[in-house]
Structure 1
Amino acid sequence: MGDNIRVLVATNTFPSEARPGDTPSIKDQVDDLMRLGVSVEILYIDSRRKINYLVGALKLFSLSFTPKKYDLIHAFYGHTGVLAKLQKKYPVIVTFLGSDLLGKKDSRIGRLAARMADGVIVMTEEMKKASTRQDARVIPFGANAAIFKPYSAPQARSELGLAQGKKLVLFPWDPARPVKRYQLAQEAVATLRAAYDVELLTIHNKAREIIAKYMSACDAMILTSSHEGSPLAVREALACHLPVVSVDVGDVRTIVESAGGGYIASEKASDLAEKISRVFEQPGAFFKDSSKVHNSGDSARDVLSFYKQIIMAKKR
C-alpha cells in the first residue's frame, strides 16, 4: 500500500522517554505510516536550543548535494517547514498543528512555510483559511485506539490513588501556557464547589497510558483555550468515553457534537460550570455514536494518499 515511498520526517518536537508529552501524535502517525509500508527516517530538531535549528538547516540544505535517498520530506510545524525548503531535491509537505498558523508569535513564519511548501496539511478549515492555500488538505490527528479506549472508572481511580466519591474534572495541558487559560478552568470548577465535592486534576507531559487512565477515572474534561487547531486530547477523551466541556474553539464543536460526547460553552466560567454540572447529573446521556471518533490509522491513510498525489505532481 505504501508503494515503497521513502520519507524524511523533519520535526522540532517528538516524544522521548524523558519527555513523553512532546506531540506523541507525530510518532503515532509515523508508526501508522510505517505499518502501511512507508519507509520513514526522522530528523529531530530539538527546539529547546536555538543552535539546533542551525544544525538542522545545514543537514537539510546538504541534501541538495547528496545522492537521492527519499521521495519527499514531511515537515511538522512551520519553522521546520521553512528549513526543509532550503534543499531543492525533494518536494516538501508541511503539517501545521495550530499555533504556527493561528498564534500571534509564530503565524508569520507559518504563513511563509505554507507559501513555500509543495503540499500543506492542516488540522481544521480555520487553519486552511489562515494558510491562504486553497489546496491545503485538512487531515487532523486521530486518537491512538490501542491506548485510548473505555476502561473501568473505579478501577482507574483505584490504580491512580484517586478518591472514589469525588467529582473529578480533567485539565490535560500545561497550566503555564497562557493560550490554555488555566485560570478560567479553575474559576469554573470553583463555581461548582457550591454544589459538589469536586477537584480539578491537572496532568501533562506524562506517558499516554497514564493520561488514558486519568481520562477513564474522571467525570469530565474541560478545555478553555483562547485558540486551538484540532486538539487531540479531545478525541482521546471521547475515545475513553470521557465527556468534554469546551469553549467554542478550533474544530471541537464538530468533534464533540458528532460523537455525542459533551457540551460547548461560552467563555464565561459560570456557563462552563453549568455545562459540567449537566455532565455530572446525566452521566449516561453521552456517546450514542462514539464510532465517529477519528483514529490515528484513519489519518495515516489520508496522509499516504496525499504523499502519492504530491509525488505524482512532482514527476510531471
Structure 2
Amino acid sequence: MHVLALTTNDDAPFMNEQMRIMERRGVSFSTLSVSGDGRAGHSRGPTDYLRFLPSVVRESANGYDLVHAHYGLTAPMAVAQLRKPVVLSLWGSDLYGPVEPISRACAPLCDEVVVMSEEMRRYLGRDCTVVPDGVDLEKFQPGSQSRAREAVGWSDDEYQVLFPYTPKRTVKNYPRARRIVNAVNGLVDRPVRLHTVYGVDHDAVPDYMNAADALLLTSDSEGSPNSVKEALACNLPVVSTDVGDVSDRLEGVSPSVVASDDEKLIEGLRTILECGERSNGREAAREISIDRTTSRMIEVYERVV
C-alpha cells in the first residue's frame, strides 16, 4: 500500500516510529505537514491550514491507496480531497481540547477512526478502533542507572524525578508536578529534583528513563501517553493522575501509583522514592509493543482499502 500521511507535526516520534515499522512490512508513505510553527507556546493561524488544503488535494491524485490524517486539525483537508478513503487518528488533545468540535464533525466522514484508548472511544461515542501508540522494546529497555546518570549529567546524591513535557503545555499541569515534588522534598532523606525533559533526541530518552527514580505525570487529560509506556519498558516506576489509559497500562505494575488528589500523589511518590525499587512494567509493555500495534494499524488499512 502507498499512504499519504497528513500531520501537524512531522517530528512526532511515535508517528514516525510506527511508519518506520510499517515500511518494513511493505507500506510506503509520503508525508505532508501543515506549514507554520506548531510548537508548544506557538500557534498556527487559519491561513496556514487554508494553504495546506490545495496541496493535499493535488497530492492525493498521485496514486495513493488511502489518506491517513494524524490529529483532528488535518481531518478537514483529508475528507475534502474526495478521491481516496480516509483513516483519522485522534491523538488526545484534539478530542479533549479546543479542537474537539472539528474532530467530532469530521469523524463521521472518515472511513475509519482510530483512537488511543477505550476512554477516548467512550468519550467520542461512535464506532472506532482502539490502537494505542506502541513502544519500541528494543530501544526502550532497562539499563544501568549509574551509567544513564553519567550520560545525562544527573547526580547520585539526589532523587531524580522525570517530568517528560515542556512546562509551557498547560494541559500537562507542570505547576502541580512542581507542587508535589516540593511537598515530597520535606519528607525524604535526600533532595528531590524535578527534571523537565523535552525536545531531546528520541534516541536519548531511554537514558533519561533509566537515570530517573520515578516518572511523574500530572496531566489534566491524555489519550495514551507515550511517556508512561516508555517508562514501563524501562521498568521505571510511574506516579500519575488518572487520565487516558494510564490505569489500564499500570494494572498489575508495582511499584506505581495512579491517583486523583495531591495527597495520594505525594504519598505515592514518597513511597516509591524511599523503596528505591524498579517496577515490573516491562512485562506489561509487551502488550503494547510497536510490533503488535503496527499489526493492528495495518489491519485498519486493509479494511479501508
Task: Give me the TM-score of the superposition, normalised by structure 1.
Answer: 0.89
Q: CA deviation at 1:30?
A: 0.8
Deviation at 1:55, TM superposition (A): 2.6
How far apart are 1:261 and its partner, in Å? 5.2
CA distance in 1, matches of 2:149, 2:102: 43
Percent identical pairs in the alignment equals 34
Amino acid at match of 2:49: Y
Q: Is the 8 A contact 2:107 2:113 kept in 1?
A: yes
Partner residue, 1:138: 130
The aligned residue for residue 52 of structure 1 is 48
Q: How does 1:1-316 map to 2 (within 5 A)?
A: 5-15=1-11, 23-48=12-37, 49-50=44-45, 51-62=47-58, 66=61, 69-103=63-97, 105-134=98-127, 136-196=128-188, 197-260=191-254, 262-268=256-262, 270-284=263-277, 286-287=279-280, 290-293=282-285, 294-311=288-305
TM-score (structure 2 length as normaliser): 0.92
Cα distance between partner residues in 2 of 1:203 and 1:290: 21
Distance in 2 (alpha carbons) for counterparts of 1:261 and 1:234: 13
* Contact preservation (8 Å) 2:234, 2:282: no
Where has structure 1 moved over 4 Å in runs of 4 or more?
none
- Number of equivalenced pairs: 294
CA distance in 2, matches of 1:193, 1:210: 27
Distance in 2 (alpha carbons) for counterparts of 1:209 and 1:129? 34
What is the CA distance between 1:85 and its match in structure 2?
0.6
Q: 1:132 to 1:218 in 2, by over 3 A?
A: same
8 A Cα contact 2:232 2:284, kept in partner: no
Listed one character per residue, the Cα deviations across residues 253-310 of structure 1 (whole Å, up to 9, x for unaligned) are 1101244451112231x321110111123233620x6222112221111000111111
Counterparts of 2:255 and 2:249 in 1: how far apart (Å)? 8
5+ residue gaps, structure 1, are 16-22, 312-316
- 2:16 match: secondary structure: helix
Uncovered stretches (5+) of structure 2, i.e. residues with no partner: 38-43
Q: Is the 8 A contact 1:63 1:89 kept in 2?
A: no
Amino acid aligned to 2:156: Q
| 1:118 partner amino acid | D
| Partner amino acid, structure 1, of 2:7 | T
2:202 partner letter: R
**Who is 2:40 aligned against?**
none
